[in-house]
Amino acid sequence: MANAQSRLVVISNRVAVPKARGVAGAQGGLAGALNAALKDRGGVWFGWSGQESEDRTGNMDLQRNDGVTTATIDLSPRDVGEYYNGYANSTLWPLFHYRIDLARFENRTGEGYERVNDRFAESVMPLIEEDDLVWVHDYHLIPLGERLRSRGVKNRIGFFLHTPWPPTRLLTSLPFHERLVRTMLSYDLIGFQTNEWLSSFVHYCETELGAEVNRETGRITHEGRQTIARAYPIGIDWEHFQAQGDTGEARNAGQRLLASTRHRTAMIGVDRLDYSKGLPERIDGIGRFFDEHPERTRDLVFIQIAPPSREDVQSYQHIRGLLEQKTGQINGARSEVDIVPIRYVNRGYSHAELYGFFRAAKIGLVTPLRDGMNLVAKEYVAAQDPDDPGVLVLSEFAGAAHQLGCDGEGAVLVNPHSPDALAGAIRKALDMPRDERKRRYDAMIGTVRDDDVRDWTQRYCTDLAAD
């Protein structure tokens, strides 16, 4: 039996190697929380190095930085193509975000996905000691628990899904869907971001597998094995993010943004370049707002920061071109010699710089079509001036809406599929009086501050350690 002092073995697709103590820009967010848990408990973080190699000897790179041990392996180009770009990001990712139209179902990539999960299991086995807690993360490694069990691992093994879980009727479009879900029931504890995703998973287990479910305890019984499934909404690293606001880097970033707005209200969006984030739909909504209120190009400027991601996947190349096209059309129609309504920035920024941008922007536009949680929404709230806060416009389909919607007293919730709804929400935020902005901020800040990522890590590990 594992106990509260058990070592922790974290397994994820990629590994965040911690920087030396005191280095500026040290990790926050999930990486920071997992590193903190590993330092507290001892253990190891295992995953893919991000490098490609044809080396089949199973060589592993072990490093120890700031009290945390990391272990990484390379993958072959074939593995990356079939497991990562293929099944994980061209099949499961779109399906889990309700985009069955973009999902590609190919036996070859499915076989690659299983092959890499087998390799992960074989490679990490020697690192697992008796009584270790094993915590597997995300859709890349769904079958890993079952692969470890088949090799005799009897430790407590947990799994956390950072994406949504789709409704049963969507999931059954996946070839071998029963096989995939059955592997999940090898875990002792399965975590989801929200009760909505949890309910979808439980519904599948009941209707497709005939499992027995106790909804009060989250216990799922299937073929003599019991698994617990619960919701654990993730938070930001509050202390780390607030510390960024005290840096010169954050202050300079905010001042740069304000100096460039020419006295217009800054509205900001920060998202990976991903079709789940609803970026083309967002631009359509902004275009609708300027169509209805052309004079307000002198009141509002929108800054979209969209770092590229998964550039080897064809659907991501398409969305980048579409976003550039839509942004260019609006700017071509609405720009003046001294103003441009939309700034599209295809690069990333540090946490400190983002804090400064969020603080300076009086509207945060976070409108994914579907999102497991969306921590940008929480970071935007965390960066606001309590005496003069900005307004968060948030998709009702983001996991964060369950916490930040606050019965109409928190974020302005919006349907991101509707250009008219987006245009209306932008106008509401732009014209919102200060007392209402403060009231909405006060409704959100408590959960952003108190339900942070370290609390999330502790709650999950405590439940995993319990029988």
Show which residues are catalytic: 162, 371
User: DSSP string covering 325-387, please?
Assistant: HHHHHHHHHH--SS--SEEEE-S---HHHHHHHHHH-SEEEE--SSBS--HHHHHHHHTS-TT
What distance in Å separates the CA atoms of residue 31 and residue 166, rounded to the nearest whole number? Answer: 26
Element (H, E) at 428: helix 419-430
User: DSSP string covering 144-180, please?
Assistant: HHHHHHHTT--SEEEEE--S----HHHHTTSTTHHHH
Element (H, E) at 223: none
What distance in Å separates the CA atoms of residue 127 and residue 179, rounded to the nearest whole number? Answer: 27
Per DSSP, 19 falls in state P
Q: Is 376 left (phi over 0), alpha (psi -120 to 50) or beta?
A: alpha
Q: Beta-carbon neighbour count of residue 58 at 10 Å?
A: 11
Which pair of tokens denotes residue 187?
A: 């875990």
